[in-house]
Amino acid sequence: MNNLTSTFGPYYFEDFELGATYRHARGKTVKESDAVTICNLVLNTAEGHFNDHKMASLPIGQSVVFGGVTISMIIGLASQDTAGNAIRELGMNNIKLLSPVKHGDTLYAFSKVLEKELTEEGGMITFTHYGINQNQTLVFQGNRSVLLKTKASS
């Protein structure tokens, strides 16, 4: 595994090795205010995110973070390295929320380079992004394609 020691890139298309996995340098603790604010902004009012009393009676035992927040935080942590020289985002697929995230969990991101292709517009890379929590539990996995600048185009 390649370790990125900073998030100050910028990383160009050529800087990513096909098949390499990168550990992104920063983590993010999911505060209750982060999760609730985003839920309210996107009109997600499912009780599982707000009703601590009801969730305490279920096997999970407490409110959970909206999956959209988990996805956004992992992609955000990865984007510090994988999109600093982005021309544009191309898409995401195979999104999997593998374990619940709870308020107070700290998330970390890893990215594996699945595909690389040089195009007329720049360099297209497909990453598989992984998110883990402070207990090393895999909470997220998904693919993201991005068009990056090449060194020659900068």
The CATH number that applies at residue 73 is 3.10.129.10
Q: Which of 76, 126, 134, 80 is nearest to 103 (CA)?
A: 134
> Which single residue is written with the structure tokens 């600093």?
84
Rounded CA separation 154/149 (Å) = 7
Domain assignment of residue 123, yes or no: yes
Range of the domain at 74: 2-148
Q: What is the pLDDT of residue 154?
A: 76
Q: What is the pLDDT of residue 7?
A: 56
Rounded CA separation 128/126 (Å) = 7
Rounded CA separation 89/47 (Å) = 32
Cis peptide before 10 (omega within 30 of 0): yes
pTM of the predicted model, to two decimals? 0.90
Domain assignment of residue 154, yes or no: no
Q: What is the pLDDT of residue 4?
A: 52
Domain assignment of residue 6, yes or no: yes
Q: Which of 72, 104, 71, 86 is nearest to 16 (CA)?
A: 86
Tokens representing residue 35 in the block:
């999760």
Q: What is the mean pLDDT, run by run of 10 residues, along the chain of 154 residues?
A: 56 93 92 89 87 89 94 95 94 98 96 96 97 98 98 87
Domain assignment of residue 25, yes or no: yes
Q: Which of 33, 31, 65 is nearest to 49 (CA)?
A: 65
Tokens representing residue 46 in the block:
């499912």
Domain assignment of residue 56, yes or no: yes
> Which single residue is written with the structure tokens 């984007």?
79
Q: What is the pLDDT of residue 153?
A: 86
Tokens representing residue 78 in the block:
């990865």
The identity of residue 116, as a single letter, is K
Number of domains in the chain: 1
Domain assignment of residue 9, yes or no: yes
Domain assignment of residue 153, yes or no: no
